[in-house]
Structure 1
Amino acid sequence: MTTSHTDTTQLLGQRETVRYPNEQYAWYVVFVLFFVTILSQLDRQLPTLLVEEIRSEFSISDTQFSFLQGYAFALVYTLAGLPLGRLVDRKSRRNMIFFGLLFWSLMTFLAGFATSYTTLFLARMGVGVGEAVLAPAAYSLIADYFVPQRRGRALGIYYISIAIGSGASLVIGGALLALIPEQGMVFPGVGYLEAWRWVFLAAGVPGLLLSFLLFSVREPARQGSGANLIDDCALPTIRDVCVFLRHHCATFSRLLVYPSILAIIGYGSLAWAPVLFARKFGLQIAHSGILLGGLIAVAGVVGSLISGFVSDRWAAKGHSAARFRVTLCGQLLLFPTVSLWALMPSPTLALAMLFVAILGLAIAQTAAPAAIQEVTPNRMRGQLIALYLLLGGLLGIGLGPTLPALVTDYVFQDDNALPWSIALTAFPASVIGVWLTWSGQKPYAITQQSLISGKD
């Protein structure tokens, strides 16, 4: 027997005074999740640095590589995200992260032994399945470890791991490519493996070791609206979630879509940045990987910190739609720079422009999970975060790397036209992103107030 929307709404409207876990331990949990997420980004982003090596190995085009980097990961990542999001709302989140980490680390390791484009594609799909559980579970855990007034800061600190992981994948991969002999090295029992294969092998090992640290993380009590719904039969159904979204369509049509636009911009630019610097400026892939990795890490960390602290400060002052307003500020910083960096005449100017673009991207993107959770009942958080990730995966992780490749291969039909391909795909996406966040401010404030007053 399912719970009616009216009954569910009444339960979700209840407010209990709940004791949150010790804050010092809560920060320990954040940093455990922090390092797990760094590994997830490392394993996810590795192909970005290995474009030319993988293209040469399997004789594929830019578009085929973009499918490997994008949809091989994104399709399973997003499709697995929704059912896993429902499990996050009722099962041990710590245990789900543990098994996910083991699986995606193993798949990354096995990618180093791929014998064809198809087997590498399948390994990338495996990474997507394993990583699908991490974000819904991690965001839900952090929300239950911190009082609402400090939640934005905690999520901002946690979100830094994404920037560091993205940067580290390029720095570590670049360093490994520089250190490993070009002809490769011997793997016991297998023989010589090319340098790019050793990068995958090296990236898969740390996750297998770090997974056991998760047993030091305790599963917290579920807090906030709807936390009393401990029975599976009382868990909001998919229909309940759909009704809730329909009641607040003006808010969530913007709140769930704008991060996808950001993902299109981010993945579209960063997936091809190392190759652009090689094709346009003649930089070695290993060198450009180290430069770009450091830039992404620094800009991403600074942007995430700014986003978390500013959103908490504005929320504490009682500004309506405080966290969603932060996203608009980030979008306005991103808008004029993300289309121009690839067209700069020198690598120095391109790096400077890209730094500002990533700073704005990090400010806007970091605020998204906290903004979603602030207007979502507790027992729906896992499902809505999973929906947010589904849209971001299909549109961003999947389509982001593919759009510039399609323009390069089928419009310009010239590998050296990559800078224009990036610019022409980033500009319209950034315009849409600004409109979504600007027009969503008032609806968001209305939804926020209705949840606070229990009138949802």
Structure 2
Amino acid sequence: MNEQSTSLIYAESKTNLGRWYALGCLIIFYAISMVDRFILSAVAQPVTQSLGLSNTQMGLLLGAGFAVLYSIAGIPVAYLIDKGNRTKVILVGVLLWSLMTAASAFTADFTTLIICRAGVAIGEAVLTPAAMSLIGDMFLRKDRALPTSLYMATGNVMATGAFLIGGAVYQYAGTQQLLPSMEPWRFTLLTVSLPGLVMVLLFALTIREPARVDSQPVDDNDRVSKNSLLPFLNSDKAMFIPFWVATGMISSLTLGVISWAPTLLIRLHELTASHASFVFGSVGLPTSVLGTLCLPWLASRLQRKGRADGIILILLISVAIPIPAIIIGLLSNQYWLLVTAFAICMMFLPSISVLTCLGMQMISPSRLRARTVAVNLLIINLFGYTVGPLLSGFLADRVFTGPTAIASALATMAAIIGPIAILGFLLARRNFGQMMSMQKD
């Protein structure tokens, strides 16, 4: 029996509440995944002391050890998403990361903990590619910007919210009487794993796989093969190559700025660590959420007015405005100029990941959508988590000196990366518009 006859066609009715309920479940899953992803950071100090970990080992657990596997695992996982039942793949992914988070509470050393973190990374690699594919089939093209923005904005909110939740659970864990013999950090990890397990049951009972909008009855001679992605990318390499070069470059600057922002406030303006984190969070959280919601909406508005390259135009704006702002803020000695620069950067730079994922969702056929999004996320995460903080730190150590070294390094990166990213998106613009025009809902 073909997929169309057994699936719900959410996109056919504007009043279908089922798609919004499904979106709500995806958003809750994303929120839970962010908590499970960052919870180890929230309890890093007691974990380090309890297991006798070195700073290098903990850094691996928190950074590249998670991000690299998360990025690489997304490609084969996305093949399963494009080929089969996406809701079932999501269920397996959520179940895996929730169980691995729970298992982390019982680890005895670095080896067992990093195995658990690997399971969390692989499980979470399922969610966003599957969500982008599902949203693409549950909503018509002209309506996709809002649900995509709401989903992606969850990541910006929970990147901060995860620490608040983790801190509250850890504080409670110190006074709880349910498992008094369990160390607070272990109780915390075990507790935050439970919502995912509950949501798995709810999702399995209430959500059905939506029909693929551009799908036809699939038989053995018409199935998507593992190599289908490469011909698609190769046929439009004039768009994908400059687009992803620009995406990777600007992602490295974005993570560089976010990683060093509190440190810059401390070194340049002598704030305390807590004050610096509060200042950056106060300006960064609301502006990043505002940008994540408004910029994709603006791109959608341009598209409705006949600009097939609307997403690229907003991407160009999202690079052109924050680049001079951050350079001025970093090189000036004015506190409020730097804070304003951070606000402008957080308004635009984090939204680039949303816009590029939305772009991949728009130009890709349904049976390739998850894989193109997964490749986009791989580039964002690998460039962002590995190149950004590492390159800025290297420049600060080897090229610049003094308390302004990090500021000079980031300003140099911005001056180089900004024009490259703008050029990349400009080169991709025409072909992107043509690909948009060719896709049919």
User: SS of the counterpart of 1:234?
Assistant: coil
User: SS of the counterpart of 2:160?
Assistant: helix
Q: How many correspondences in the alignment?
A: 426
Q: Structure 2 vs 1, CA of residues 46 and 262 (structure 1 numbering), >3 Å: closer, same or farther? A: farther
* In 1: Cα distance, 2:327 partner to 2:189 partner: 31
**Matching of residue 315 in structure 1 with residue 303 in structure 2:** yes
Counterpart of 2:385 in structure 1 is 397
Displacement of 1:243:
2.4
User: SS of the counterpart of 1:220?
Assistant: coil
Following superposition of structure 1 onto structure 2, how do residues 46-445 of structure 1 map, counting pairs within 5 Å?
Answer: 46-49=39-42, 58=52, 60-61=54-55, 64-175=57-168, 179=171, 184=174, 191=181, 193=183, 197=186, 199-215=188-204, 216-224=206-214, 227-228=215-216, 230-231=218-219, 233-271=221-259, 281-284=271-274, 292-293=280-281, 295-338=283-326, 351-404=339-392, 411=398, 420-421=405-406, 424-425=409-410, 427-428=412-413, 431-432=416-417, 434-441=419-426, 443-445=428-430
Aligned residues of 1:43 and 1:204 also touching (Cα < 8 A): yes
User: SS of the counterpart of 2:144?
Assistant: helix
Look up the equivalent residue of 1:109 and give its one-letter code: A
Displacement of 1:375:
2.2
Displacement of 1:412:
9.1
Displacement of 1:133:
0.5
Counterpart of 1:36 in structure 2 is 29
- Consecutive unaligned residues in structure 1, runs of 5 or more: 1-17
1:338-377 CA-partner distances (Å, limit 9, x unpaired): 5676788798765543222111113322211121222222
Displacement of 1:54:
5.6
Look up the equivalent residue of 1:440 and give its one-letter code: F
User: SS of the counterpart of 2:321?
Assistant: helix
Displacement of 1:451:
5.9
Please report the TM-score for the alignment, with normalisation by the length of structure 2: 0.82
Aligned residues of 2:320 and 2:422 also touching (Cα < 8 A): no
* In 2: Cα distance, 1:201 partner to 1:259 partner: 36
* In 1: Cα distance, 2:345 partner to 2:221 partner: 46
Look up the equivalent residue of 2:350 and give its one-letter code: A
* In 2: Cα distance, 1:270 partner to 1:187 partner: 38
Aligned residues of 1:268 and 1:422 also touching (Cα < 8 A): no
* In 2: Cα distance, 1:148 partner to 1:94 partner: 21
Aligned residues of 2:33 and 2:124 also touching (Cα < 8 A): yes
* In 1: Cα distance, 2:218 partner to 2:190 partner: 42
- Consecutive unaligned residues in structure 2, runs of 5 or more: 1-10
Displacement of 1:73:
1.1
* In 1: Cα distance, 2:411 partner to 2:97 partner: 30
* In 1: Cα distance, 2:252 partner to 2:196 partner: 27
* In 1: Cα distance, 2:167 partner to 2:334 partner: 21
Q: Structure 2 vs 1, CA of residues 260 and 404 (structure 1 numbering), >3 Å: closer, same or farther? A: same
Counterpart of 1:24 in structure 2 is 17
User: SS of the counterpart of 1:336?
Assistant: helix
* In 2: Cα distance, 1:237 partner to 1:308 partner: 32
